Amino acid sequence: MKEDYVDCLELTGKTIQRFRIHKDTGDGPELQIDLTDGTSLSYSVCSQISTRATLYKGGAGTPEIHCDYSI
């Protein structure tokens, strides 16, 4: 069964030295967590843009789909 979360076991018990939120520069904001053992965790949310177009014939009832274009 797929979990609804990611468990970062490598971070368990570590101590945070610095927690930074970098401003959005176009790619979305980024979180940077520096730990006292010299490691850092970087976290960002990425969105993907997609397009979709459908060629159909309308009228009464359900439209008749001729072609579905997805990129």
Give the rounded percent of residues in the chain with a pLDDT score beyond 90: 25
List Cβ neighbours of 33 (8 Å cut-off, separation of 6 or more): 16, 18, 19, 20, 40, 41, 42, 43
pLDDT at 71: 63
Asked whether residue 28 carries a pLDDT value surpassing 90, the answer given is no
User: Phi and psi dihedrals of 29, rounded to 5?
Assistant: -70, 160
Asked whether residue 47 carries a pLDDT value surpassing 90, the answer given is no
9 DSSP 8-state letter: G
Q: Is the whole-model pTM more than 0.85? A: no
User: Phi and psi dihedrals of 9, rounded to 5?
Assistant: -60, -30
> Residues 55, 66: contact at Cβ < 8 Å?
yes
Q: What residue has token string 């979305």? A: 28
